[in-house]
Homo-oligomer: A and B are copies of this chain.
């Protein structure tokens, strides 16, 4: 299996959780510290850190530490890759519908009606 296909399901899986989606929604507005991100989540910090680790491992977010504060930021290219895959599938599906519509238009039986 090619590398792209390998990373793709892991990234979709990373977004397949309400806590992790909420983190991405917050980071779309700008970088935030781990404690800021953790505040609205109704869970213990170790569980929350595991969610952050899943997002970071798949390249959806990155983080850096200055002093005692770790700041997370969104990596939009990872979202763009998912976006591109979804758009491609939808385009293929629409092209097939157009081809079918073309076949119906060319159908001599239909023209006789």
Contact = CB atoms under 8 A, between A and B. Distances in A.
Contacts of A96: 28-30
Interface string A1-45: 100011011111111111011001101111000000000000000
**Interface of chain A, main secondary structure:** helix
A12 B21 contact: yes
- How many protomers of this protein does the assembly include? 2
Given A13-B17, A21-B9, A79 B74 contact: no
Nearest to A82: B86
Nearest to A30: B96
Interface of A: 1, 5-6, 8-18, 20-21, 24-25, 27-30, 74, 76, 79-80, 82-83, 86-90, 92-94, 96
5 contacts: A13-B15, A28-B92, A74-B93, A80-B86, A83-B87
